[in-house]
Amino acid sequence: MTSAENLQAFRRDGRIVVVGASLAGLRAAETLREEGFTGSLTMIGDELGEPYDRPPLSKQVLTGWVPAGNTKLPRRREIDAEWLLGVPADGLDLAANHVHLADGREVPFDRVLISTGVRARPWFVESEAALDGVFVVRTREHAEGLQRALAAGPSRVLVIGAGFTGSEIASICRERDIPVTVAELAPAPLVGALGAMIGEVAADLQRAHGVDLRCGVKVTQLEGDAQGRLRRAHFEDGTTIDADVAVVALGGIRNTDWLRSSGLAAGVWGIACDTGCRALDLNGLVTDDIFVAGDVARCPNPIYEYRLISLEHWANAVEQAGVAAHNMVSAQADRWPHLTIPLFWSIQFGVNIKSVGVPTFADEVVVTQGSVPDHRFVAAYGYRGRVTAAVSFNNAKWLDHYRRLIETAAPFPPPCPAPDQPADMKPVPVDFPGPVLLAQGATVVVTGHDPSERRVTAVRQHR
Amino acid sequence: MRRSGAGFRARSSQSLVVVEMRVVVDLSRCEGYAQCAFLAPDAFRMHGEEALMYDSNPDDAQRDRILRAAAACPVQAILVDRLEGRDAPTEASPS
């Protein structure tokens, strides 16, 4: 049989398994059917219920407006799938081509899409994480529990971590008139994603809205009472703060543990893939039948020196899922590269914060339009004299302009495109926290000497 | 019943069954024109000058207004369900 005949047979009667039934998995499944795949489609997900949207969980769900169970995603079309929900996958066998489920079942496939996403990083002491009043926010059950705790009128909420999610939750607390303390290890909120200049603006924004913001501090212990309810938190400097709710917002952990012995290039950083969304194996060789999309994928981006970048962005999950699905049912010559310029948004303290590009891929930043004190401006990020990213505060209409500058490698600093040129347009160093704050550690070693025997081996991390 | 837990839910003390819509806004595309908040204020609300918050699963009673809001969006960022959850998984664990 020719490969064209093989592809036709696969498109007609093949078996595709999607592991991870959230936004990326659902959109991929819809694209597979849209592109004419008529074989069997199996959706595997560890959560029960229909695929739902997560961004509202830290926003309109926590305000009490939208019930946590009411963010189910709209469908673009029928997908005629078999849904295996409530049981996580715990292994992938590339020799036998099947997915292993935690309850012992084995699900065979011809091609598989991995879209297992991330989970919330829990508080590091299990007994303290289990205290009544300690939350993370990733699933609708999490959001529902926290919403109830906020509705009960806590005396104070402690938010640990001032990234986007932590800042959004602090904003909701203030909107609900609940006293809130935000504890952040870095020198300012959002600094790890957007740098020191925007971090300072974000800090002003929080304080102006009555947040007790404490930066450069570390929470070391969560203390409960005899009934197992959270009472106070201890800081590294020996001080304490009384709080009956704590939200641990320390980012996510990519769900790759189940792939540990699969032979794929999977680890804490995600699953490496090519721009066609095909997974790489441990040796960095591209696989044929394993595809990756969404938060768990780590994909090279040619605009950013072909660096492998993983993005926990809604729009990236949708776009990458579409490309992956298209490529799963297409011949090599018809495949598409996932060449996206990252786009991200956050809503907090009445401000719409959006970013385009990769702000961490920069050495300088400059306010190109608007006014920082009014919280309505755009800042452009540059790397070695070209525009690589932009961040807007209540100025989203301009971001598309900056996307084009990034795509065309326009010179940095760019001119102000509008009449609202700021008085001072001097670029400043972008100033991200050093690698000590961000380091992840080694995950592989190389063995063998002869080119025919050199191989990469995964290192188990002991943490 | 295949549609239970998917497109229907019981509301309030009356045993009235209401179909809910599914809505998602691509907020990476949204530029805050606020047309939707004007046309379907029960489902779309502005938070500050430019940020949008919305009800993802509003009552079907709002369908006309929401479809009008989706059509009026200058950047076409609003996606409304095309099939009311007919292809949904059951809420129970699969066998």
Q: Please give the domain boundaries of chain A with CATH numbers for all domains.
A: 3-55+71-118+253-334 (3.50.50.60), 126-250 (3.50.50.60), 350-432 (3.30.390.30)
When pLDDT is cut at 50, 70 and 90, the band that residue B10 belongs to is very low
Q: What is the ipTM of this complex?
A: 0.88
One-letter amino acid for residue A320 of the chain: Q
User: How close A436 comes to chain B (CA, Å)?
Assistant: 31
Q: What is the largest CA-CA distance in chain B?
A: 49
- Residue A79 contacts B, CB cutoff 8 Å: yes
Query: Which candidate from B55, B82, B88 shows the least CB-CB separation from A50?
Result: B88
CB distance A182 to A174 below 8 Å: no
CA pair distance A361, A379, nearest whole angstrom: 14
CB contact under 8 A, B28 and A314: yes
CA pair distance A85, A397, nearest whole angstrom: 40
CB contact under 8 A, A53 and B56: yes
When pLDDT is cut at 50, 70 and 90, the band that residue B84 belongs to is low
- pLDDT tens for A378-396 read 999 999 999 999 999 999 9
What mean pLDDT do residues B56-63 have? 92
Residues 247-286 of A with CB under 8 A from B: none
- Residue A397 contacts B, CB cutoff 8 Å: yes
Does pLDDT of A401 surpass 80?
yes
Query: Which candidate from B24, B82, B93 shows the least CB-CB separation from A86?
Result: B93
Higher pLDDT, A23 or A424: A23
Does pLDDT of A4 surpass 70?
yes
The residue among A33, A73, A399 with the most chain B CBs within 10 A of its CB, best to mutate, is: A73
What is the pLDDT at residue A444?
Answer: 62
Does pLDDT of A305 surpass 50?
yes
The answer to which of A89-103, A436-450, B34-48 has the lowest mean pLDDT is: A436-450
- Residue A385 contacts B, CB cutoff 8 Å: no
Nearest Cα residue to A158 out of A58, A250, A220, A242: A242
Name the pairing type of β-strands A98-101 and A89-93.
Answer: antiparallel
What is the pLDDT at residue A433?
Answer: 73
Does pLDDT of B5 surpass 90?
no
What is the pLDDT at residue B88?
Answer: 54
Query: Which candidate from B51, B52, B87 shows the least CB-CB separation from A80?
Result: B87
What mean pLDDT do residues B4-13 have? 38
Residues 105-164 of A with CB under 8 A from B: none
What is the pLDDT at residue A418?
Answer: 86
Distances (CA, A) of B63 to A36, A461, B44, B58, B75: 30, 52, 13, 8, 20
Q: Is A112 exposed, middle or buried, given 0-12, 13-18 or 19+ CB atoms closer than 10 A?
A: buried
Distances (CA, A) of B34 to A36, A54, A348: 37, 22, 17
When pLDDT is cut at 50, 70 and 90, the band that residue A453 belongs to is confident
Query: Which candidate from A56, A74, A345 shows the least CB-CB separation from B28?
Result: A345
The residue among B19, B20, B25, B28 with the most chain A CBs within 10 A of its CB, best to mutate, is: B28
Q: Is B76 exposed, middle or buried, given 0-12, 13-18 or 19+ CB atoms closer than 10 A?
A: exposed
Going by CATH, does the domain composed of B20-80 fall within 3.30.70.20? yes
CB contact under 8 A, A350 and B47: yes
CB distance A361 to A389 below 8 Å: yes
Query: Which candidate from B32, B91, B94 shows the least CB-CB separation from A352?
Result: B32
Q: Where does residue A24 fall: left (phi above 0), alpha (psi -120 to 50 degrees), or beta otherwise?
A: alpha
Contacts A60 to B, Cβ<8 Å = 53-56
CB contact under 8 A, B53 and A71: no
Averaged confidence pLDDT in chain A: 93
Residue given tokens 């993983």 in the structure block:
A310
Nearest Cα residue to A166 out of A144, A196, A141, A146: A146
Nearest Cα residue to A399 out of A383, A381, A412, A386: A381
The residue among B53, B79, B84 with the most chain A CBs within 10 A of its CB, best to mutate, is: B53
- Residue B93 contacts A, CB cutoff 8 Å: yes
State both tokens at B65: 């207004």
Does pLDDT of A222 surpass 60?
yes
CB distance A319 to A295 below 8 Å: no
What mean pLDDT do residues A360-366 have? 94
CB distance A15 to A109 below 8 Å: yes
User: How close B61 comes to chain A (CA, Å)?
Assistant: 16
Neighbouring residues of A101: CB distance < 8 A, sequence distance ≥ 6: A44, A84, A87, A88, A89, A90, A107
Does pLDDT of A280 surpass 60?
yes
Query: What's the start-to-end Cα distance of chain A, in Å?
Result: 50
3-state helix/strand/coil string of A373-424: CCCEEEEEEEECCEEEEEEEECCHHHHHHHHHHHHCCCECCCCCCCCCCCCC
Does pLDDT of B2 surpass 60?
no
Nearest Cα residue to A7 out of A322, A338, A327, A336: A327
